[in-house]
Amino acid sequence: MVERGAVDEMPVGGEHLALDLVNSTFIRGGLRGHLVDVLVEPSDLGEWVERHAVGLDLASAPSGRLGAAELAAFLELRRALRAVLTAVVAGGAAEPADVAVVNAAVRAAPGWVELPAGGAGDPVRRSLSGERGPVLLARVARAAVELLTGGGREQLRACPAPGCILFFLQQHARRAWCSTACGTRVRVARHSRRQSEV
């Protein structure tokens, strides 16, 4: 059974845009926990999008409502990205069907960047699509492609804590877990095992 959660309950946030989408499902409570999904209703997707306004460059995105069709597209991208990330972290090849889902999402709203009017400053994003959903979906998918084909791929990790399904970028050599909660849970379990062996 999947429990509905809130976007602000995600145990790991502020990771790479594509990882934040994948990490919108998580296990609450470790091995004996339960699956939580923060993207159940279109309003949940709207909140997730607002929290990622900078990464999605909402200022340059078309306006409009995100409905059931857009939610379904994001959930399909999330599913495919989880499968691709799992394969990549394990050192294997992703299934062609999952790669095709990511690539189709990138193509859903072809876009480019331009120089701003003065010739310097932040790039201006443009898109051929005038629809909000495909533009935002394409931006998440493009971010995933850039992650998986760039230098960040070497830092990509799946949390090794039992019962955790989250991904993170190991940007510091000492980071071993997706969150301090997972690290603490593993250390407590390790300590309990040692105490029971004595």
pLDDT digits 0-9 by tens, 6-53: 999 998 888 999 999 999 999 998 778 899 999 999 999 999 999 999
**What are the start-end ranges of the H helices in the chain?**
17-22, 42-51, 53-56, 68-89, 96-107, 132-149, 180-197
- Residue 162's pLDDT is 87
Give the integer Cα–Cα distance in Å for 166 and 113. 31
User: Tens-of-pLDDT digits for all 198 residues of the chain?
Assistant: 899 999 999 988 889 999 999 999 999 987 788 999 999 999 999 999 999 999 999 988 999 999 999 999 999 999 999 999 999 999 999 999 999 999 999 999 888 889 988 899 888 888 888 899 999 999 999 999 999 999 889 999 999 998 899 999 998 888 888 987 887 776 765 645 666 666
As for how many domains the chain has, the answer is 1
**CATH assignment at residue 107:** 1.10.3300.10
- Residue 191's pLDDT is 47
**Torsion sign, CA atoms 100, 139, 15, 45:** negative
What is the span of the domain harbouring residue 100?
2-197
